[in-house]
Structure 1
Amino acid sequence: MDIKTATALHRLRLISIPEALSFPALIIFGSILSRVSDIDFLMPPLGALHGLLFVIYVLFLLDVWIKAKWPVKRVALFFVLCLLPFGGLYGDKLLKRYESDGVIAARARREGTVNA
């Protein structure tokens, strides 16, 4: 794995957890609190934050798709995971495994133990 691919994977991992937690926060704090109390000022900033994190996640996912040459099924899986509450946490676990597998494979190629 080259440095650009590793960087793209790492960026996607960095955004996956905040994006995964912003959706439940939007639901819990924004929707529920605005309905049961007079606290409705949280909804616009939480909605904007979640939207921004979602757009960044999708852009980083497209970057990984191009640089890592992922199959469409894998990209679709990560897109669906970002739509589910807490789905990005599972996505982060998968990304960590892909990242470590790529580093191990790159190190093996560099040391000449694998012909690739």
Structure 2
Amino acid sequence: MKMLRFISILEGTSLLLLLFVAVPLKRLMDMPEMVSLIGPVHGGLFIAFNLLLVLSVSRFGVSAKHALMGFIASLVPFGSYVFKAKILSKY
């Protein structure tokens, strides 16, 4: 569970960096390099977070409802932080 908590913070941070730093730099200052750098990192963390979420259902007794909430939270800015604070703190 510690790894899931850690990855949720990393995934949430990478999403925020992508949305609020890299994309504005690309669109406003014509600097697509940041998206090329942060995008794949975020993609890998997104996949790792959701794989760990699925594994935690079978190994740590996380309910399917909470896993679905975690997946939805990973799609929303700041969602991973809220998921970690509200849901993962119970496990």
TM-score normalised by length of structure 1: 0.72
Q: 1:53, CA displacement in angstroms?
A: 0.4
Q: Indicate the residue corresponding to 2:46 in structure 1.
A: 54
Alignment partners' CA distance in 2, 1:74 and 1:35? 36
Structure 2 counterpart of 1:80: 72
RMSD: 1.2
In structure 2, what is the equivalent of residue 109 of structure 1?
Answer: none
| Bigger Rg, structure 1 or 2 | 1
Give the aligned partner of residue 20 of structure 1: 12
- Using the aligned pairs only, state the percent identity: 28
Question: Which residue among 69, 90, 103 is the counterpart of 2:61?
Answer: 69
Partner of residue 21, structure 2: 29
Instruction: List gaps (5 residues or longer) in structure 1.
Output: 1-8, 100-116
Gaps in structure 2 of 5+ consecutive residues = none
1:41 aligns with 2:47: no
SS at match of 1:39: coil
Deviations 1:3-47 (A, max 9, x none): xxxxxx111001001101111210122211111113221111110
List aligned pairs for 1:1-20, cutoff 5 A.
9-20=1-12
Deviation at 1:64, TM superposition (A): 0.5
**1:67 to partner: Cα distance:** 0.8
Distance 1:75 1:42 in 2: 31
Corresponding residue SS for 1:69: coil
- Aligned AA (2:69): L
Normalised by the length of structure 2, the TM-score is 0.90
Q: AA paired with 2:28?
A: V
Kindly state the Cα deviation for residue 71 of structure 1 after the two structures are TM-superposed.
Answer: 2.6
